[in-house]
């Protein structure tokens, strides 16, 4: 049987900045541990931009704070996912969903590819989008990303996406690595490219994790204001999840403080969202002595989850293919 064209480049996967070069078609896995693209779930979703959201399984990051850890770390999690879906079927179904009464009630106007990390499924997504637009020309598409894609992958996303939601967790490399396991530079480079295509940017999203990246806020705001002071920026309140399941959520004060910092840095289009004030739980206080050093606090949690590589650097870590963080099973979800 002839192989679908969109699978071909998975023979030597170079989709993201890890450049694993593995053949995902024969069971080799890279940093994302993903073989063939898999749909984790899909549903109409009212969060802006309201959409038919398609969550793709797998992720190339190992974020301690991950909210979607079960699908991001599939197949190491016990998440029940939708699995492989033929792109033509998914396109048909997506168009039907977007044209439904329920979609009009929540004003869903686009497909929204999220994850996990949709970059790991980029060729598949391109195929779904092409087929959806063949059925309904002009179908809008959002791409949700951690920014860790190659310049070529970003160019491809800019080609088909109408809007992009883009996460920035830190600008300092050590804080970024401590939180995500990945270097900051590719994400910063791509943020600059995206800022130059502002018409494609829905917003930069900055998750605020108290004690860990709150010290980064001013640097993040200065970086973004330096690109364009009018860029849309949304601060998201951290909620206790995954390896940080016992860590306290971002307070309302902290979110307001973020807005004040953004203003002081000259950003004119910043807002915040999420549910602030969720408490931490017993077991998270032993890092109190590390207060003031976000990297050390993150490292403390990573170590408790089994990561012995200090500083955390998934790209050179010998445990990459048997990563305890990827296999971490939290007891709490908020």
Give the binding site for ligand SF4 (CB under 6 A).
13-16, 18-20, 22, 30-32, 34, 60, 62, 120, 181, 302, 307, 309, 312-314, 317, 319-320, 323-325
Bridge-partner residues for 163, per DSSP? Answer: 142
Residue number of the CB atom closest to ligand SF4: 30
Q: State in angstroms the smallest separation of the CB of 286 from ligand SF4.
A: 19
Q: State in angstroms the smallest separation of the CB of 86 from ligand SF4.
A: 21
Nearer to ligand SF4, 186 or 232 (CB): 186
Pairwise CA distance, residues 196 & 319, whole Å? 37
Q: State in angstroms the smallest separation of the CB of 76 from ligand SF4.
A: 11
Nearer to ligand SF4, 277 or 330 (CB): 330
Q: State in angstroms the smallest separation of the CB of 34 from ligand SF4.
A: 6
Residues 113 and 123 sit within 8 Å (Cβ to Cβ): no
Beta strand pairing call for 201-208 and 163-167: parallel
Nearer to ligand SF4, 40 or 307 (CB): 307
Pairwise CA distance, residues 54 & 113, whole Å? 5
Neighbour count for residue 268 (Cβ, 10 Å)? 13
Nearer to ligand SF4, 53 or 153 (CB): 153
Nearer to ligand SF4, 60 or 94 (CB): 60
Residues 117 and 59 sit within 8 Å (Cβ to Cβ): yes
Q: State in angstroms the smallest separation of the CB of 327 from ligand SF4.
A: 9
Nearer to ligand SF4, 108 or 129 (CB): 129
Q: State in angstroms the smallest separation of the CB of 304 from ligand SF4.
A: 12
């Amino acid at each position: 049987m002839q192989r679908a064209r969109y699978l071909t480049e998975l023979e030597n996967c170079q989709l993201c900045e890890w450049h694993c070069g593995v053949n995902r078609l024969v069971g080799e896995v890279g940093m994302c541990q993903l073989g063939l693209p898999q749909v984790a779930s899909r549903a109409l979703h009212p969060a802006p931009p309201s959409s038919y959201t398609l969550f793709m399984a797998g992720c190339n990051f190992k974020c301690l704070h991950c909210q979607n850890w079960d699908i991001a770390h599939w197949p190491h999690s016990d998440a029940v996912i939708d699995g492989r879906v033929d792109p033509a079927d998914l396109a048909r179904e997506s168009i039907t969903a977007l044209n439904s009464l329920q979609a009009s009630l929540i004003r869903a106007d686009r497909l929204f590819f999220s994850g996990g990390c949709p970059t790991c499924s980029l060729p598949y997504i391109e195929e779904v989008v092409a087929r959806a637009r063949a059925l309904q020309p002009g179908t809008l598409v959002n791409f949700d990303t951690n920014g860790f894609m190659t310049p070529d992958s970003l160019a491809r996303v800019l080609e088909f996406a109408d809007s992009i939601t883009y996460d920035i967790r830190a600008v300092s490399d050590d804080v970024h690595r401590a939180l995500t396991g990945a270097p900051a530079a590719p994400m910063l480079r791509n943020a600059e490219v995206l800022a130059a295509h502002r018409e494609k940017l829905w917003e930069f999203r900055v998750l605020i994790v108290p004690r860990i990246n709150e010290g980064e806020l001013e640097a993040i705001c200065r970086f973004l204001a330096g690109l364009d002071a009018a860029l849309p920026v949304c601060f998201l309140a951290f909620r206790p999840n995954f390896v940080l399941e016992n860590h306290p959520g971002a307070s309302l004060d902290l979110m307001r403080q973020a807005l004040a910092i953004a203003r002081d840095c000259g950003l004119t289009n910043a807002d915040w969202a999420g549910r602030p004030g969720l408490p931490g739980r017993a077991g998270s206080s032993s890092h109190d002595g590390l207060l003031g050093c976000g990297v050390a606090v993150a490292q403390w949690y990573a170590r408790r989850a089994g990561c012995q590589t200090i500083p955390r650097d998934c790209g050179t870590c010998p445990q990459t293919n048997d990563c305890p963080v990827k296999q971490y099973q939290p007891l709490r979800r908020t």
